[in-house]
Structure 1
Amino acid sequence: MPGMPKKGGRKPPASAVRKDKRLSEKQELEQLEQRCKHPIMGVDSMQQFDELPISQKTLSGLKRANFIKMTDIQRKALPLGLCGKDILGAAKTGSGKTLAFLVPMVEMLYRQKWGPMDGLGALVISPTRELAVQIFEVLRKVGREHSFSAGLIIGGKDWKIERELISKMNILVCTPGRLLQHMDQSAGFDCDHLQLLVLDEADRILDMGFKKSVNAIVENLPRQRQTMLFSATQTKSVKDLARLSLKDPEYVAVHEKAEHSTPKNLSQYYMVVPLQQKLDVMFNFIKTHLTAKGIVFLSSCKQVRFVFETFCKLHPGVPLLHLHGKQKQQKRAETYAKFAAQKAAYLFCTDIAARGLDFAAVNWVIQLDCPEDPETYIHRVGRTARYEASGQAMLMLCPSEEAGMIQGLERAKVPIQEVKLKTDAKDVKKEPIQKQMQRLCFNDPEIKYLGQKAFISYMRSVYLQKDKTIFDVNALPAEEFAASLGLPGAPKIKFVEKSKAKNAVRGNQKKTNDDEESDQYMEEEEEKSKVKALDAKKKSKKEPIPEEEETAETTISKQPKSKIDKMFGRKNQSVLAEHYTRLVDHESDAKGKSNVDDDDEDFLTIKRVDHDLAGDEASEEAPLPTSKRQQNMSKVERLKNQGKGNKLIFDEEGQAHEIYELEDEASFHAKGDASSQQKEFLEKERKVMDKADTIDKSAAKEKLREKKLRRKQREREEMMDYDSDEGETIVTLGNPDVSDDDNDMDQGSDGNGHSSDGGEEEETPKKRGWWQDKADAEEAKKKRRVVEVDEPQTLAEQEALALKLLGM
């Protein structure tokens, strides 16, 4: 019948399928363990990944990512990594080093049946965030069939979210700084069971920039582990390898015996360009290569931003991007993805993009600033001509950098040829952009500010370089370079002046004694001429200039000064004036002035004669006015600028003491020990407080008595106005003066005799009853009258009082 399954076509139960799957995985693991215990046979003849002892899950991920054929570094490093050997891998850029450590990592955890509850098993450390992202993306492709948990831990992301998930990760791809932060601050993050440590771009991670971070990380890792180091320029330092606890590492250098250390398909050129012409050459290069995709390397973040901002305003006709370490992580990721997707664009960046990043189809790598060393040059040019593609590289050198850098590149086996800069306008369309840069700096203060920062950062980067045979900051044309950036002048930099001073000292050390004496004589003569010039200038300010001798300078000086000129001409007389006068050597100034005839200052000028009196400390603390402005100040202004004096008290002998003066240690111990003095002081102060409390209570009691007397007097005056025949009669018994005075505790006062409602109101109005309306209450109040009588003592007096109250 149609729709019925055929005989023998039933599906097996799910339990049987799972059982067969477990058996096959178990058999596969046993076979992989047997093949990886011993060195893999026939390694040299292997060309594809499926010939290696790799699980089917890893092979499936490699095939889906189109990784089928192995590269040279993978062919030599993978068999050693699968066997658990420590590896030092060195290969050219773009040769596939990432898979050389990711495949052994995944396979090692798979063979050990690593699960989610086993914690961290493998760790990959990268020097930059972009490279860590790239490694993590490759790991996702290779290990997509496995059940491991992997995490990307880099700066710029939410640390709290990472802290919650990091303890559940089996594989971590991270940067050193963020990893160390989690090791120090994340509770539950444990690295005690780590099986594999990988350092990508190991020479960069192990240098001075990450030295402290890496040392702290390694201290938290177990010594029994597998370690792999990969880079295009591998480190061989014994100290670096010893602190990583490598055991008999295998050095895998695929291209060590090669003729060149850079890819064969890479065409490399260099050009000697004066520093002030580099931006002109760069802009014209972009204008003539509008369909190309290039990366431009500069030495600092501020230079990257300045060149990017100015070139964008000049509109070269091609998309421009910039990437540097001062950007936020989201912006860096967007720039990275956008440039990778572009077919024609130029990326201005620092060395943050020099290592490991794989951009598709980069045609040109242009190094506008000289690299730090040949290793940095190799990593920079490695962004193009990756794997089997071709590419071109251009290096722009200043005349002072050419000899040393070219020698270093020759030692590093880098083939590079020189290209002459064409200066004829007929041969090349050259447009100097200096005037346009000046216009941008003049119109936009932010561009000018960026230009100043770019100038300083470039000069600092040259000054801080170690190899002085290549980098000489004194050989750079600072003024011309500043003008090429559009700046009106070169900013003054302290470290450049220091370097010049050091060079001057070194030159002076080579001089003979005769030369030193002659130089000293010349310096003395120069100082004397300066003193004479200053004196002449002072006289010229005082004496009127004849009309015939007036020059342009004198006419300018006669013009009225602005507030800014006056502000710069003034000296601060109020802030630290006393301290300043103490620091200035007035005696030497007086000696210098005594040699000059200055009769005009002495004319009709009264000066105080200084007397050397013993113990005259006040004259030392308050010096005389030293400038003409101080002499012309009024007494009130001078008093304002003087410091505040100290208040003094005089004892019986007439000696001055400060109000709060510390006691001598001897006199303090003479009075007894500290505890007894403390008790005595507390007892004395307690008596003073008790006495003051008694006075306060008596004053409050007297105030309350006066208050009650005033209230009773007012009530008597009000009752006298009422008619005795009408109204209500209220009888008060006893003497009100005596009874009220003796009653210290009534309803309107507290225990200390103070009024509970503040003491201001003398009497609170009587409240109306709930059964009375307002009119009845007012009428009852009018009819009320008070009659004061003595308290009845006999029966007859009580009857008389009762009849009186009844109105009979």
Structure 2
Amino acid sequence: MAKGTEAQAVQKVNARDLKRSQDKEDLETLEKNASQPENYSTAKYFTDLPLSAKTQKGLSQCNFKQMTEIQRKGIPLALAKRDVLGAAKTGSGKTLTFLIPLLEILYRQSWNAADGLGALVISPTRELAVQIFEVLKKIGKAHTFSAGLIIGGKEFKVEQERIARMNILVCTPGRLLQHMDQSVGFSCDNLQVLVLDEADRCMDMGFQNTMNAIIDNLPRQRQTLLFSATQTRSVKDLARLSLKDPEYVAVHEKAEHSTPKTLSQHYVVAELPKKLDVLYSFVKSHLKNKTIVFLSSCKQTRFVFESFCKLQPGVPIMHLHGKQKQTKRVDIFRKFTSSQHAVLLCTDIAARGLDFPAVDWVLQLDCPEDADTYIHRVGRTARFAADGHALMILNPSEVEGMLEELKKKRVPIEEIKIRTSKQQSIQKQLQSFCFQDPEIKYLAQRAFVAYMRSIYLQRNKKVFDVTALPAEEFALSLGLAGAPKIKFVKKAEKKIMGAQEKKEASDESEEEEEEVAAPVKEQKTKIDRMFGRKNQDILSEHYSKLVDFEGDKIKLDGGADDEDDDDFLTLQRADHALESEEEDDMNEVEGENISKRKLKMSKKERAKNMPRGDKTIFDDEGVAHAMYELVDEKDFLKDGDAKSQIKAFIDEKGELMQTADKEDKETVKQKKLAKKIKRKERERAALKEGESGSSSEEEGSGDEGSAMSEDEEEPERKRKWFEDESSDEDSNKKRVIDVAAPETLEDQEALALKLLGA
């Protein structure tokens, strides 16, 4: 039996060693084949690539067989550990292009939990991060790596406990940087692969500083993969920072159009107050379709969602925007993905990378920010060679500028007309909703302001002109009784009016200059404009010193200069002061020229605006100098260079400090000695006083000479701050009573009576 068990153990050891050697040979073969990407340039199927059996198993279970164009060009380069900067149309399969190499690189290095973080995938939105993580779980099911999803909206402490054990992380930039700063044990020192999905949006969405901080925390010896549907300058800047000799893979750069061929694209011109009517009519006529509707703000999305739910068009209505909680966003994302017929109202949060299956229509109720945003929005349909339709609703003021932008990006789009017979108006229903439900009215007001602000803040003023919008009619179309007051619209109108007035004024001034020989001086400099404003009393004193008023005066004898003979009326400065001027002079004497604004100011606010005093010192001649004055370099170097002067200064001040320290110690020592002597004298005086008191009781009253000597020897005690003269008298009455120790009760009573008498 013993021999049999030994033989089985030997067989197991041999089988284990044989398997290890076989695995090692397989890894070496994969490494060798992957280092030659040019051999796989004609590969069409995933099985043609040098992938491990575990990855092949995950791909086959998900029915991923034939590669797309971006996958054929990008995966072999990424498997060879080269940096890749990839650009391809939306829906072309970019996610697998970086997930497959990520798994393979870690597998070929036999990565395990002890090695820490090996791969990092960063996406701009939480929904896209969730989608990437779901795909990673499916194709990496056979691998033994630990993977984590790090996004905002979840418990931070739970993530902190697990993040240090992860081999692969899919995350958003803000949450990742928070863990880098706060999570103990989280390290990126062994990172092998960094992936940025939708990299241009990562930079555009306000993550630029965050991304730069993240990249600074990552090791430079790593592989970097950047993917996006549209290449912008920010991506190229990022590529220069983090990529080393990148392979640029632009699949559809030379294509005729920037959007898929299977996508039909149209636009409709509609007045702003009619937009919701067009949307409702479209939804009612496409009840059996799956539609995504893009709006420009969260407030609009919420208002349209609540209103359409009350209208009950006959199809499920959902909404997705950035103000929702993370759990709700994920639930809506999954619900819409699994729905067959539904309408999703959303902001641009759903415009990037999200793969909603079988979307029939992408409707853009509000004009996109630019052509790139348009391309990403319409990319939610017609994915993977499927058919799709896109419709954009434009205001009349947006048509010309937007079509020009789309033409530059090679986007084919055609205009269509709406049949008036099929168009329905919902304005009366919205008015009744706002009248009956205060919450709907509040949402309508916020939606109105949010839309107007989004138009006002857009950069491209050729497309977006907030002053060209009919605000009152738009408010009525939302169900409101009138348009809410908006400050920024008035500012925009004032800017336009000011520009027109300036233009007219400049034209008039040019005409006057032609007629009149002496030109009129205009306020051109910034300082002149500043002094031209009201309530500039702070700088009035300084300004009056700078301005020469002598030129304003004319002769007081009534005779004018020869140059002013033609003037009909002439203003002159009189010597007398009016009552108002006298009051101003009084205010100036008191310290300030008071304005209405200053009268309302508190003492603290006035103190803040008061000029700060400068500390000065006087030399032997009485001349004032600043506390610290700069010396010329030549004068400074006369005493030696800076280091030698610093050393001499430290030595000099050090000696002074040492001598001062010795003097202080000596004075403290003398004070302690004086205190000790005084205490000894007080103790001696108290002993002598006790002896003299006992002798006077035995012999009677003592002679006056001895009493005088005792008084002279006794030091005078200073009264404390809480004592008065009566306390001194009480202290003088106190005497020392010397008696024998009491033995009986009678002796104790006698001692008590004697003490009470004393």
User: Contact 1:122/1:197 (CA < 8 Å) preserved in 2?
Assistant: yes
CA distance in 1 between counterparts of 2:310 and 2:136 reads 40
Residue in structure 2 matching 1:171, options 143, 162, 168: 168
Change beyond 3 A, Cα 1:696–1:357: farther
Deviates further, 320-329 or 485-494: 485-494
Check if 1:220 corresponds to 2:249: no
Residue in structure 1 matching 2:150, options 142, 153, 176: 153
Please give the residue correspondences for 1:102-121 in structure 2 after superposition, counting only pairs within 5 Å.
102-121=99-118
Check if 1:444 corresponds to 2:473: no
Partner of 1:143: 140
CA deviations 1:749-778 (Å, max 9, x no partner) are xxxxxxxxxxxxxxxxxxxxxxxxxxxxxx
CA distance in 2 between counterparts of 1:691 and 1:617 reads 53
Check if 1:372 corresponds to 2:369: yes
Q: How much does 1:209 deviate?
A: 1.9
Check if 1:434 corresponds to 2:427: yes
Q: How much does 1:611 deviate?
A: 13
Change beyond 3 A, Cα 1:302–1:518: farther
Please give the residue correspondences for 1:645-684 in structure 2 after superposition, counting only pairs within 5 Å.
none
User: Contact 1:271/1:396 (CA < 8 Å) preserved in 2?
Assistant: yes
User: Contact 1:93/1:382 (CA < 8 Å) preserved in 2?
Assistant: yes
Partner of 2:271: 274
Check if 1:422 corresponds to 2:419: yes
Letter in 2 for 1:475: A
3-state SS in 2 of match to 1:244: helix
Letter in 2 for 1:431: Q
Check if 1:382 corresponds to 2:382: no
Residue in structure 2 matching 1:39, options 37, 42, 48: 37
Letter in 2 for 1:301: C
CA distance in 1 between counterparts of 2:510 and 2:233 reads 53
Long gaps (5+) in structure 1: 1-9, 520-579, 584-608, 627-640, 645-663, 667-674, 684-688, 703-728, 743-808
3-state SS in 2 of match to 1:206: helix
Q: How much does 1:63 deviate?
A: 0.8
Whose Rg is larger? Answer: 1
- Percent of paired sites with the same residue: 58
Change beyond 3 A, Cα 1:642–1:476: closer
Partner of 2:480: 487
Q: How much does 1:42 deviate?
A: 4.4
User: Contact 2:434/2:479 (CA < 8 Å) preserved in 1?
Assistant: yes
Residue in structure 1 matching 2:720, options 682, 691, 698: 691
Residue in structure 2 matching 1:477, options 470, 473, 476: 470
Residue in structure 2 matching 1:501, options 489, 494, 507: 494
Partner of 1:393: 390
Partner of 2:49: 52
Letter in 1 for 2:326: Q
Check if 1:739 corresponds to 2:755: yes
Partner of 2:58: 61
User: Contact 1:276/1:481 (CA < 8 Å) preserved in 2?
Assistant: yes
Change beyond 3 A, Cα 1:369–1:612: closer
3-state SS in 2 of match to 1:392: strand
CA deviations 1:102-146 (Å, max 9, x no partner) are 111111111112221112111111000000011011111111111
CA distance in 2 between counterparts of 1:192 and 1:82 reads 21
Letter in 2 for 1:458: Y
Partner of 1:803: none
Change beyond 3 A, Cα 1:384–1:610: closer
Change beyond 3 A, Cα 1:613–1:472: closer
Partner of 1:252: 249
3-state SS in 2 of match to 1:404: helix
Partner of 1:324: 321
Change beyond 3 A, Cα 1:245–1:42: closer
Q: How much does 1:508 deviate?
A: 2.2
Q: How much does 1:15 deviate?
A: 4.1
Letter in 2 for 1:231: S
Letter in 1 for 2:436: N
CA deviations 1:700-751 (Å, max 9, x no partner) are x99xxxxxxxxxxxxxxxxxxxxxxxxxx99994497763475xxxxxxxxx
Partner of 1:100: 97
Please give the residue correspondences for 1:238-249 in structure 2 after superposition, counting only pairs within 5 Å.
240-249=237-246
Letter in 1 for 2:221: Q
Partner of 1:29: 27
Partner of 2:679: none
Change beyond 3 A, Cα 1:87–1:694: same
3-state SS in 1 of match to 2:454: helix
Letter in 2 for 1:136: F
Partner of 2:707: none
Q: How much does 1:181 deviate?
A: 1.1
CA distance in 2 between counterparts of 1:163 and 1:272 reads 52
Residue in structure 2 matching 1:334, options 300, 318, 331: 331
CA distance in 2 between counterparts of 1:78 and 1:697 reads 105
CA distance in 1 between counterparts of 2:353 and 2:156 reads 25
Change beyond 3 A, Cα 1:510–1:623: closer
CA distance in 2 between counterparts of 1:305 and 1:206 reads 27
Please give the residue correspondences for 1:555-574 in structure 2 after superposition, counting only pairs within 5 Å.
none
Q: How much does 1:397 deviate?
A: 0.4
Please give the residue correspondences for 1:750-789 in structure 2 after superposition, counting only pairs within 5 Å.
none
Q: How much does 1:257 deviate?
A: 2.1
Please give the residue correspondences for 1:174-193 in structure 2 after superposition, counting only pairs within 5 Å.
174-193=171-190
Partner of 1:460: 453
3-state SS in 2 of match to 1:89: strand
CA distance in 2 between counterparts of 1:41 and 1:220 reads 36
3-state SS in 2 of match to 1:110: helix
Residue in structure 1 matching 2:195, options 191, 194, 198: 198
User: Contact 1:294/1:366 (CA < 8 Å) preserved in 2?
Assistant: yes
Partner of 1:19: 17
CA deviations 1:772-804 (Å, max 9, x no partner) are xxxxxxxxxxxxxxxxxxxxxxxxxxxxxxxxx
Deviates further, 323-332 or 510-519: 510-519
User: Contact 2:200/2:235 (CA < 8 Å) preserved in 1?
Assistant: no
- TM-score between the two structures when normalised by the length of structure 1: 0.65
CA distance in 2 between counterparts of 1:741 and 1:272 reads 118
CA distance in 2 between counterparts of 1:85 and 1:41 reads 15
Could you say which structure has the higher helix fraction?
2
Letter in 2 for 1:460: R
Long gaps (5+) in structure 2: 1-7, 513-534, 539-578, 604-615, 619-660, 672-717, 732-744
Partner of 2:569: none
Change beyond 3 A, Cα 1:111–1:502: same
Q: How much does 1:235 deviate?
A: 3.1
Q: How much does 1:21 deviate?
A: 2.8
- TM-score between the two structures when normalised by the length of structure 2: 0.69
Letter in 1 for 2:720: K
User: Contact 2:199/2:235 (CA < 8 Å) preserved in 1?
Assistant: no
Partner of 2:704: none
Check if 1:285 corresponds to 2:301: no
CA distance in 1 between counterparts of 2:581 and 2:15 reads 114
Letter in 1 for 2:755: S
Letter in 1 for 2:414: Q
Change beyond 3 A, Cα 1:414–1:517: closer
Q: How much does 1:618 deviate?
A: 14
Letter in 2 for 1:273: A
Check if 1:402 corresponds to 2:399: yes
User: Contact 1:202/1:235 (CA < 8 Å) preserved in 2?
Assistant: no
Q: How much does 1:518 deviate?
A: 12
User: Contact 2:203/2:234 (CA < 8 Å) preserved in 1?
Assistant: no
Letter in 1 for 2:153: G
User: Contact 1:88/1:234 (CA < 8 Å) preserved in 2?
Assistant: no
CA distance in 1 between counterparts of 2:158 and 2:236 reads 37
3-state SS in 2 of match to 1:210: helix
Partner of 2:651: none
Partner of 1:758: none
